[in-house]
Amino acid sequence: MKRIIKIIKNFSVLGKLAFIVLILIFILSILGPQLSKHSHDLPSGDSLEEPSKNHKLGTDGLGIDILAQICNGGRISIIISFGVAVLACSIGSFIGILSGYKGGAIDYILMRFTDMMIVLPQLPTMIVLGAFFGPSIKNIIIVLSLFSWTPIARITRSRVLTLMEEDYIKLSKGYGGSFKYIYINHIQRDLFPIIMLGFIRTIGKAVVTEASLSFLGLGDPTSKSWGLILNRAMDFKGIYFTSYWKWWVLSPLLAIILVVLSVSLIGREMESRFDFKM
């Protein structure tokens, strides 16, 4: 935790602002549903009310408060994106470390498998897998993770290969140091920034991809994420011939943009600080 705080302190003003915006969105998403006086799934007003003191972002076609939906949708998106980031970083770092440390045939097989996953058309494949496994938060996390670990694996492998050429690691291996000892004492601290950057980048990618799948109707219909809110808004006939789109469509869209932009800026700050790109 101290290392993370130290990294954030060295961000530029823009990077710190992006971090603050991201934290505020997370807090609003987690605490918003509990603090809101309106339900996110039950009508609390008339259909398609304009923004007012009682409904800050108006209501949708069923009279459900849009701000309450945005807060709840943010919580769903956070659960999915963090789940994907944890799983993708675990898979990617494991494959990258194993490939870089072992080398030889293991390295060749793992990297060819990684290349195969990279060249697969991701969105069509995710659509097919999402339809096959069924719409649920658990299945969405698994499907998204399958296509999110490859950048982490490649950059982790590259860093491990570089570290394996260092004299102190060669000496450690020469004196009979086990993989566990070398990893804990020499490799782990160097991989922390890379895995942290991969975690941040994966969150942004997962938010966009989950929103895309939900927008296409392949998300969990019982969990109203930002993508599903957009899907319901777009299903409303003639929405662009009215003023409803200004709060019903733009609200979840702006939430997605803010998260992705903040994550992108934080990722750029980390890349410039540690001098590597993902």
Tokens of 72: 């709840």
Question: What are the pLDDT tens digits along the chain (278 aa)?
Answer: 676 777 777 788 888 899 999 999 888 888 877 767 788 888 888 878 888 888 888 888 888 888 888 988 888 888 999 999 999 999 999 999 999 988 889 999 999 999 999 988 888 888 888 778 877 888 889 989 999 999 999 999 999 998 888 888 888 877 877 778 888 777 888 888 889 889 999 999 999 988 888 888 777 777 788 988 888 888 877 666 777 777 888 889 999 999 999 999 998 888 877 765 55
The pTM assigned to this predicted structure is 0.86
Residue 201: inside a domain: yes
pLDDT the model gives residue 276: 57
Confirm whether 70 is domain-assigned: yes
Residue 125's domain spans which residues? 2-37+63-274
Q: Closest Cα partner for 227 from 238, 235, 219?
A: 219
| pLDDT of amino acid 275 | 61
User: 3-state DSSP helix/strand/coil percent for the chain, to nearest 5?
Assistant: 75, 0, 25
Domains contained in the chain, number: 1
Distance CA 64, CA 33 (A): 13
Helix (H, G, I), strand (E, B), or coil: what is residue 8?
Answer: helix
The confidence score (pLDDT) of residue 117 equals 92
CATH, residue 205: 1.10.3720.10
Residue 240 in domain:
yes
> How far from 163 is each of 101, 158, 169, 180, 276, CA to CA, in Å?
9, 9, 7, 15, 15
Q: Residue 84 falls within a domain, yes or no?
A: yes
